[in-house]
Structure 1
Amino acid sequence: MTVHDWMWSEACEVIARAERMHREFFRPAGAMASQPAWQPPVDILETDHEVLVLVALPGVDAEQAEAVIADDGHLVIGGTRVLPPALRTATIHRLELPQGRFLRRLPLPPGRYSDVRRATIDGCLVITLQKAG
Protein backbone atom coordinates (compact mmCIF):
# COMPACT_ATOMS: atom_id res chain seq x y z
CA MET A 1 0.00 0.00 0.00
CA THR A 2 1.40 3.39 -0.96
CA VAL A 3 1.36 6.45 1.28
CA HIS A 4 -1.23 8.02 -1.04
CA ASP A 5 -3.52 4.97 -0.74
CA TRP A 6 -3.12 4.95 3.04
CA MET A 7 -3.93 8.67 3.31
CA TRP A 8 -6.98 8.24 1.08
CA SER A 9 -8.17 5.30 3.18
CA GLU A 10 -7.74 7.32 6.39
CA ALA A 11 -9.60 10.30 4.90
CA CYS A 12 -12.52 8.07 3.87
CA GLU A 13 -12.67 6.57 7.37
CA VAL A 14 -12.74 10.05 8.97
CA ILE A 15 -15.61 11.07 6.68
CA ALA A 16 -17.53 7.86 7.49
CA ARG A 17 -16.97 8.42 11.23
CA ALA A 18 -18.20 12.02 10.94
CA GLU A 19 -21.34 10.86 9.12
CA ARG A 20 -22.04 8.26 11.84
CA MET A 21 -21.62 10.91 14.55
CA HIS A 22 -23.94 13.26 12.66
CA ARG A 23 -26.63 10.55 12.45
CA GLU A 24 -26.24 9.81 16.17
CA PHE A 25 -26.50 13.46 17.18
CA PHE A 26 -29.63 14.21 15.16
CA ARG A 27 -31.56 11.01 15.98
CA PRO A 28 -35.05 11.92 17.29
CA ALA A 29 -35.85 11.04 20.91
CA GLY A 30 -39.05 9.52 22.29
CA ALA A 31 -40.28 6.49 20.38
CA MET A 32 -36.84 6.08 18.83
CA ALA A 33 -35.15 5.83 22.25
CA SER A 34 -35.36 2.03 22.23
CA GLN A 35 -33.81 1.87 18.77
CA PRO A 36 -30.02 1.56 18.41
CA ALA A 37 -28.47 5.01 18.72
CA TRP A 38 -24.87 4.42 17.71
CA GLN A 39 -22.45 2.07 15.98
CA PRO A 40 -19.16 1.07 17.60
CA PRO A 41 -16.03 1.00 15.43
CA VAL A 42 -14.77 -2.45 14.44
CA ASP A 43 -11.77 -4.24 12.95
CA ILE A 44 -12.21 -7.53 11.07
CA LEU A 45 -9.24 -9.86 10.65
CA GLU A 46 -9.09 -13.29 9.05
CA THR A 47 -6.73 -16.22 9.56
CA ASP A 48 -6.79 -19.67 7.98
CA HIS A 49 -9.07 -21.00 10.73
CA GLU A 50 -11.16 -18.09 12.00
CA VAL A 51 -12.46 -14.58 11.55
CA LEU A 52 -11.84 -12.16 14.43
CA VAL A 53 -14.01 -9.10 14.94
CA LEU A 54 -12.72 -6.50 17.43
CA VAL A 55 -15.41 -4.07 18.58
CA ALA A 56 -14.46 -0.96 20.59
CA LEU A 57 -16.86 -1.27 23.54
CA PRO A 58 -15.16 -0.15 26.76
CA GLY A 59 -17.31 -0.95 29.77
CA VAL A 60 -19.48 -3.52 27.99
CA ASP A 61 -19.37 -7.08 29.33
CA ALA A 62 -19.08 -9.75 26.61
CA GLU A 63 -22.02 -11.61 28.16
CA GLN A 64 -24.22 -8.52 27.75
CA ALA A 65 -23.47 -8.11 24.04
CA GLU A 66 -25.31 -10.06 21.36
CA ALA A 67 -23.45 -11.51 18.39
CA VAL A 68 -25.27 -13.60 15.80
CA ILE A 69 -24.77 -14.54 12.18
CA ALA A 70 -27.87 -13.56 10.21
CA ASP A 71 -29.27 -15.61 7.32
CA ASP A 72 -27.86 -13.10 4.83
CA GLY A 73 -24.26 -13.74 5.96
CA HIS A 74 -23.92 -10.61 8.10
CA LEU A 75 -22.67 -10.54 11.66
CA VAL A 76 -25.08 -8.58 13.86
CA ILE A 77 -23.67 -7.15 17.09
CA GLY A 78 -25.96 -5.39 19.56
CA GLY A 79 -26.35 -4.38 23.16
CA THR A 80 -26.40 -1.41 25.49
CA ARG A 81 -23.60 0.68 26.94
CA VAL A 82 -24.53 2.50 30.15
CA LEU A 83 -22.65 4.30 32.86
CA PRO A 84 -21.86 2.09 35.85
CA PRO A 85 -24.39 2.61 38.68
CA ALA A 86 -21.75 4.17 40.94
CA LEU A 87 -21.15 6.95 38.39
CA ARG A 88 -24.76 7.79 37.51
CA THR A 89 -24.96 10.53 40.16
CA ALA A 90 -21.55 12.00 39.36
CA THR A 91 -21.16 15.49 37.92
CA ILE A 92 -20.35 15.10 34.22
CA HIS A 93 -17.69 17.43 32.88
CA ARG A 94 -17.24 15.65 29.57
CA LEU A 95 -19.05 12.64 28.12
CA GLU A 96 -17.60 11.55 24.77
CA LEU A 97 -18.09 7.80 24.88
CA PRO A 98 -21.54 7.01 23.46
CA GLN A 99 -24.18 5.56 25.76
CA GLY A 100 -27.37 3.62 25.07
CA ARG A 101 -28.32 0.97 22.53
CA PHE A 102 -25.80 0.08 19.85
CA LEU A 103 -26.08 -2.08 16.77
CA ARG A 104 -23.59 -2.95 14.09
CA ARG A 105 -24.34 -5.11 11.04
CA LEU A 106 -21.23 -6.30 9.20
CA PRO A 107 -20.80 -8.33 6.02
CA LEU A 108 -18.61 -11.35 6.68
CA PRO A 109 -16.03 -12.90 4.37
CA PRO A 110 -17.64 -15.65 2.29
CA GLY A 111 -17.71 -19.06 3.96
CA ARG A 112 -19.41 -21.03 6.69
CA TYR A 113 -18.83 -20.63 10.40
CA SER A 114 -19.33 -23.28 13.08
CA ASP A 115 -18.95 -21.28 16.29
CA VAL A 116 -19.39 -17.73 17.58
CA ARG A 117 -17.44 -16.90 20.75
CA ARG A 118 -17.29 -13.61 22.68
CA ALA A 119 -14.66 -12.28 25.07
CA THR A 120 -13.60 -8.90 26.40
CA ILE A 121 -9.94 -7.96 26.00
CA ASP A 122 -8.43 -4.52 26.68
CA GLY A 123 -11.75 -2.68 26.34
CA CYS A 124 -12.72 -4.46 23.14
CA LEU A 125 -15.36 -7.08 22.56
CA VAL A 126 -13.57 -9.83 20.62
CA ILE A 127 -15.86 -12.03 18.55
CA THR A 128 -14.26 -15.18 17.19
CA LEU A 129 -15.99 -16.96 14.32
CA GLN A 130 -14.60 -20.46 13.80
CA LYS A 131 -14.51 -21.45 10.12
CA ALA A 132 -16.40 -24.67 9.31
CA GLY A 133 -14.66 -27.33 7.28
Structure 2
Amino acid sequence: MWADAVGLIDRMERLHQQGYSPARAGGGMASWEPPVDIIETDHEVLVLVSLPGVDPEHAEAFIEDGVLVVRGQRVLPPEIRTARIHRLELPQGRFERRLSLPAGRYQDVRRSSVNGCLLVSLHKADGGGQW
Protein backbone atom coordinates (compact mmCIF):
# COMPACT_ATOMS: atom_id res chain seq x y z
CA MET A 1 0.00 0.00 0.00
CA TRP A 2 2.85 2.43 0.86
CA ALA A 3 4.53 1.79 -2.52
CA ASP A 4 1.24 2.56 -4.29
CA ALA A 5 0.86 5.81 -2.33
CA VAL A 6 4.42 6.89 -3.13
CA GLY A 7 3.85 6.07 -6.79
CA LEU A 8 0.66 8.12 -6.79
CA ILE A 9 2.46 11.02 -5.12
CA ASP A 10 5.19 10.91 -7.77
CA ARG A 11 2.67 10.87 -10.62
CA MET A 12 0.60 13.70 -9.14
CA GLU A 13 3.72 15.77 -8.52
CA ARG A 14 4.87 15.36 -12.14
CA LEU A 15 1.44 16.38 -13.45
CA HIS A 16 1.08 19.34 -11.11
CA GLN A 17 4.59 20.60 -11.78
CA GLN A 18 3.55 21.34 -15.35
CA GLY A 19 1.44 24.19 -13.96
CA TYR A 20 4.23 25.45 -11.71
CA SER A 21 6.97 25.94 -14.31
CA PRO A 22 9.42 23.19 -13.37
CA ALA A 23 12.96 24.49 -12.95
CA ARG A 24 15.66 21.82 -12.97
CA ALA A 25 15.11 18.14 -12.38
CA GLY A 26 17.20 15.35 -10.87
CA GLY A 27 20.14 15.04 -8.51
CA GLY A 28 18.72 17.07 -5.61
CA MET A 29 18.15 20.13 -7.77
CA ALA A 30 14.99 22.22 -7.57
CA SER A 31 11.96 20.53 -9.07
CA TRP A 32 9.42 23.36 -9.09
CA GLU A 33 9.14 27.15 -9.03
CA PRO A 34 6.55 28.89 -6.86
CA PRO A 35 4.53 31.76 -8.41
CA VAL A 36 5.48 35.28 -7.27
CA ASP A 37 4.30 38.89 -7.26
CA ILE A 38 6.90 41.68 -7.28
CA ILE A 39 5.92 45.16 -6.10
CA GLU A 40 8.18 48.21 -5.90
CA THR A 41 7.68 51.27 -3.70
CA ASP A 42 9.89 54.32 -3.28
CA HIS A 43 11.79 52.62 -0.44
CA GLU A 44 11.69 48.88 -1.06
CA VAL A 45 10.98 45.97 -3.35
CA LEU A 46 8.47 43.43 -2.03
CA VAL A 47 8.36 39.88 -3.38
CA LEU A 48 5.37 37.74 -2.42
CA VAL A 49 6.13 34.04 -2.98
CA SER A 50 3.25 31.55 -2.86
CA LEU A 51 4.50 28.94 -0.37
CA PRO A 52 1.57 27.76 1.77
CA GLY A 53 2.73 25.27 4.36
CA VAL A 54 6.40 26.30 4.23
CA ASP A 55 7.88 27.87 7.35
CA PRO A 56 9.70 31.09 6.32
CA GLU A 57 12.58 30.04 8.58
CA HIS A 58 13.09 27.02 6.30
CA ALA A 59 13.19 29.04 3.09
CA GLU A 60 16.33 30.86 1.99
CA ALA A 61 16.20 34.29 0.36
CA PHE A 62 19.37 36.05 -0.74
CA ILE A 63 20.75 38.23 -3.53
CA GLU A 64 23.35 36.74 -5.86
CA ASP A 65 24.74 38.81 -8.75
CA GLY A 66 21.71 41.13 -8.81
CA VAL A 67 19.26 38.21 -8.74
CA LEU A 68 16.99 37.35 -5.81
CA VAL A 69 17.18 33.63 -5.06
CA VAL A 70 14.39 32.03 -3.00
CA ARG A 71 14.76 28.34 -2.29
CA GLY A 72 13.84 25.62 0.14
CA GLN A 73 11.76 22.49 0.38
CA ARG A 74 8.16 21.56 1.01
CA VAL A 75 7.81 18.18 2.64
CA LEU A 76 4.78 15.99 3.05
CA PRO A 77 3.38 15.86 6.59
CA PRO A 78 4.18 12.68 8.57
CA GLU A 79 0.43 11.84 8.64
CA ILE A 80 0.74 10.80 4.99
CA ARG A 81 2.17 7.44 6.10
CA THR A 82 -1.18 6.29 7.48
CA ALA A 83 -3.59 8.52 5.57
CA ARG A 84 -5.89 7.71 2.70
CA ILE A 85 -4.95 10.13 -0.08
CA HIS A 86 -7.84 11.73 -1.93
CA ARG A 87 -5.98 14.51 -3.70
CA LEU A 88 -2.45 15.95 -3.76
CA GLU A 89 -2.10 19.18 -5.72
CA LEU A 90 0.47 21.21 -3.81
CA PRO A 91 3.92 20.58 -5.26
CA GLN A 92 6.40 18.90 -2.92
CA GLY A 93 10.16 18.68 -2.79
CA ARG A 94 12.87 21.25 -3.48
CA PHE A 95 11.87 24.59 -4.95
CA GLU A 96 13.90 27.49 -6.25
CA ARG A 97 12.97 30.77 -7.89
CA ARG A 98 15.49 33.24 -9.35
CA LEU A 99 14.20 36.75 -9.99
CA SER A 100 15.96 39.66 -11.67
CA LEU A 101 15.83 42.75 -9.50
CA PRO A 102 15.48 46.39 -10.49
CA ALA A 103 18.83 48.14 -10.77
CA GLY A 104 20.05 49.53 -7.48
CA ARG A 105 21.49 48.47 -4.16
CA TYR A 106 19.65 46.79 -1.32
CA GLN A 107 20.59 46.96 2.36
CA ASP A 108 19.07 43.70 3.54
CA VAL A 109 16.79 40.79 2.75
CA ARG A 110 13.97 40.24 5.27
CA ARG A 111 11.55 37.31 5.32
CA SER A 112 8.13 37.06 6.92
CA SER A 113 4.93 35.12 6.43
CA VAL A 114 1.75 36.74 5.09
CA ASN A 115 -1.45 34.78 4.39
CA GLY A 116 0.34 31.57 3.38
CA CYS A 117 2.98 33.39 1.37
CA LEU A 118 6.61 34.18 2.03
CA LEU A 119 7.10 37.96 1.91
CA VAL A 120 10.65 38.97 0.99
CA SER A 121 11.36 42.65 1.65
CA LEU A 122 14.39 44.31 0.07
CA HIS A 123 15.12 47.78 1.47
CA LYS A 124 16.62 50.13 -1.13
CA ALA A 125 20.03 51.41 0.02
CA ASP A 126 20.02 54.41 -2.34
CA GLY A 127 16.31 55.23 -2.29
CA GLY A 128 16.35 54.36 -6.05
CA GLY A 129 13.60 55.09 -8.54
CA GLN A 130 10.92 52.91 -10.04
CA TRP A 131 11.67 50.12 -12.55
Band the TM-score falls in, shorter-chain normalisation:
0.7 to 0.9
The answer to whether structure 1 residue 21 and structure 2 residue 18 are counterparts is yes
Correspondence list, 1:37-76, <5 A:
37-71=31-65, 73-76=66-69
For residues 3-38 of structure 1, the C-alpha deviation after alignment (integer angstroms, 9 at most, x for no partner) is xxxxxxxxxxxxxxxxx61764xx76xxx1511000
Alignment match of 2:110 (pick from 108, 112, 117): 117
Alignment match of 1:102 (pick from 71, 75, 95): 95
Segments of structure 2 that go 5 or more residues without pairing to the other structure are: 1-16, 127-131
Looking at structure 2, the residues matched to 96 and 38 of structure 1 have their Cα atoms a distance apart, in angstroms, of 13
For residues 84-122 of structure 1, the C-alpha deviation after alignment (integer angstroms, 9 at most, x for no partner) is 223443111111110000000000011100010001111
Looking at structure 1, the residues matched to 115 and 81 of structure 2 have their Cα atoms a distance apart, in angstroms, of 23
Looking at structure 1, the residues matched to 27 and 84 of structure 2 have their Cα atoms a distance apart, in angstroms, of 23
Looking at structure 2, the residues matched to 120 and 87 of structure 1 have their Cα atoms a distance apart, in angstroms, of 25
Structure with a larger share of its residues in helix? 1
Instruction: Report how many residues are paired.
Output: 109
Residue type of the partner of 1:121? V
> SS where residue 86 of structure 1 aligns?
helix
For residues 63-100 of structure 1, the C-alpha deviation after alignment (integer angstroms, 9 at most, x for no partner) is 000001002x1100100011222344311111111000
Give the alignment's Cα RMSD to 1 decimal: 2.0
Comparing 82-91 and 112-121, the one that deviates more: 82-91
Q: TM-score, normalised by structure 1?
A: 0.75
Segments of structure 1 that go 5 or more residues without pairing to the other structure are: 1-19
- Cα pair distance change 1:76/1:93, threshold 3 Å: same
Identical aligned residues as a percent: 64
Q: TM-score, normalised by structure 2?
A: 0.76
